[in-house]
Amino acid sequence: MTDLRLAPRTGREVRVRAPGKVNLSLRVGSRRPDGYHPLATVFQAVSLYEDVVASASDELRVSVSGPQADLVPTDDSNLALRAARALAARTGVDDGVHLHLHKGVPVAGGMAGGSADAAAALLACDAFWGTALPREELHEIAAELGSDVPFLLMGQTAVGSGRGDLLTAALSRGEYHWAFGVRDAGLSTARVYAEFDDLAAGHPEPAVDGDVALLQALRAGDAPAVGALLHNDLQDAAVELAPGLVETLSVAEDAGALGVVVSGSGPTVAALARSRQHALVIAAAMTAAGVADSVLTASGPVPGARLVAGSDVL
Ligand SMILES: C[C@](O)(CO)[C@H](O)COP(=O)(O)OP(=O)(O)OC[C@H]1O[C@@H](n2ccc(N)nc2=O)[C@H](O)[C@@H]1O
Ligand SMILES: Nc1ncnc2c1ncn2[C@@H]1O[C@H](COP(=O)(O)OP(=O)(O)OP(=O)(O)O)[C@@H](O)[C@H]1O
């Protein structure tokens, strides 16, 4: 499919770029009556991007490009379309829009690519339709669309609580370099949380101050300390569902990673490197050992969903 980022423009367009994320720490309490789990998490936005282009259409429709485009639904379940509908319902807009998604974040990989599309679509439609909602209202709609969506609007580094949607910005110094081991067969987030419930009943509520040391390390720009403090309560559940992850984690560790962790609900493995060059070395080690279907490198933290220069904003 054509990459619309490179295609000549034919009419008014709004372009938005939104990042993926890694949970540097993810602590999960026991399931609440509403079906969600209480979280204490530290998010970092990373430089793998979803690019969303909004252009004129009589209806609401979506198209997708990128290496895993065929895994993404283009019906009403698409998170970008759901975001457009939610914004239209809130503001009373009944115009159409065509949203083209170019996906750079692994699909169903635990890096919140769909959530990034939703965050980007909210900003893109808000600019395209000229609804100019205040940031807090966009955040409210984002939280209704999914627990991770508010963070992809915000970006950088943040502490998440509630079901992951209540955010406080965190200070972070320096640049963190990552290698990611990606698998073609994704994991369903709901399935991983269900496996988490099965593995250990009766978890204590996550301690809100559980990540004091990690937050200190981030403030100090101490990458080795951050690496040592990477943590994911969903990791055992993801490994149970995708046992090959054990090998991916150990190959990345043997390549000298400062820390390795399954990203969010998995199955992407995130390895923190000493430098950009070292991230390439870890990625090459994962490829050579055949423990990932593909590899990516990126750095963080980076901003949340942003309009790209040159957009035709109303
Ligand atoms: C694993 C993480 O990526 C970590 O940031 C998120 O917790 C997942 O966030 P998300 O993909 O936006 O998830 P949602 O779309 O809100 O929920 C999908 C499903 O995941 C489970 N879910 C999600 C968030 C949460 N705090 N507890 C849950 O149990 C629920 O079964 C829910 O039905
Ligand atoms: N715009 C979208 N992009 C990707 N997947 C989408 C989208 N809309 C709906 N989906 C569906 O959602 C599923 C999860 O996609 P996504 O890539 O967001 O997973 P994820 O990164 O594991 O999510 P998270 O980290 O937030 O738990 C996909 O398998 C797909 O069926």
CATH number of the domain enclosing 254: 3.30.70.890
The answer, yes or no, to whether residue 188 has pLDDT greater than 60, is yes
Q: Are residues 145 and 236 in the same domain?
A: no
Q: Are residues 180 and 107 in the same domain?
A: no
Q: Are residues 17 and 120 in the same domain?
A: yes
Determine the average pLDDT of the residues in 241-247.
97
Distance CA 14, CA 100 (A): 11
- pLDDT, one tens digit per residue, over 13-23 is 999 999 999 99
Those residues whose C-beta lies under 8 Å from the C-beta of residue 56, and which sit 6 or more positions away, are: 11, 12, 96, 97, 98
Q: Are residues 47 and 92 in the same domain?
A: yes
Nearest protein CA to atom 19 of ligand 1, as residue: 190
Domains in the chain, number: 2
Q: Are residues 27 and 165 in the same domain?
A: yes
Its ipTM equals 0.96
Range of weakest confidence among 3-17, 213-227, 230-244:
3-17
Nearest protein CA to atom 31 of ligand 1, as residue: 190
Residue set of the binding site: 106-116
Instruction: Output the pLDDT for position 10.
Output: 61
Domain holding 244, by residue range, is 176-300
Q: Which residues contact ligand 2 via a Cβ below 6 A?
A: 72-73, 77-80, 101, 107-115, 117, 148, 186, 189, 264-265
Q: Are residues 95 and 117 in the same domain?
A: yes
209 is catalytic: no
Q: Are residues 196 and 93 in the same domain?
A: no
The answer, yes or no, to whether residue 85 has pLDDT greater than 50, is yes
Kindly name the residue from 117, 148, 165, 211 that is annotated as catalytic.
148
Compute the distance from residue 194 Cα to the ligand 1 centre, in Å: 11
Strand partners, 161: 166
The answer, yes or no, to whether residue 174 has pLDDT greater than 90, is yes
For residue 191, is it within any domain? yes
Q: Are residues 199 and 281 in the same domain?
A: yes
**CA dihedral over 151, 114, 177, 264, signed as positive or negative:** positive
| pTM for the whole structure | 0.95
Q: Which residues contact ligand 1 via a Cβ below 6 A?
A: 23, 26, 35-37, 39, 41, 112, 115, 146-148, 163-164, 189-190, 193, 264-265
Average pLDDT over the chain, rounded to whole? 94
Q: Are residues 224 and 98 in the same domain?
A: no
21 is catalytic: yes
Instruction: Output the pLDDT for position 54.
Output: 97
Q: Which residue among 123, 141, 170 closes a domain?
A: 170
Distance CA 94, CA 99 (A): 15
Instruction: Output the pLDDT for position 1.
Output: 43
The answer, yes or no, to whether residue 279 has pLDDT greater than 70, is yes
For residue 165, is it within any domain? yes
Strand partners, 103: 50
For residue 206, is it within any domain? yes
Are 184 and 139 in contact, with CB atoms under 8 Å apart? no
For residue 291, is it within any domain? yes
| Number of alpha carbons in the 13 Å side-chain half-sphere of residue 160 | 31
- pLDDT, one tens digit per residue, over 93-152 is 999 999 999 999 999 999 999 999 999 999 999 999 999 999 999 999 999 999 999 999
For residue 41, is it within any domain? yes
For residue 272, is it within any domain? yes
Q: Which residue among 141, 170, 199 closes a domain?
A: 170
Determine the average pLDDT of the residues in 53-69.
96
Residue set of the binding site for ATP: 106-116
Q: Are residues 113 and 37 in the same domain?
A: yes
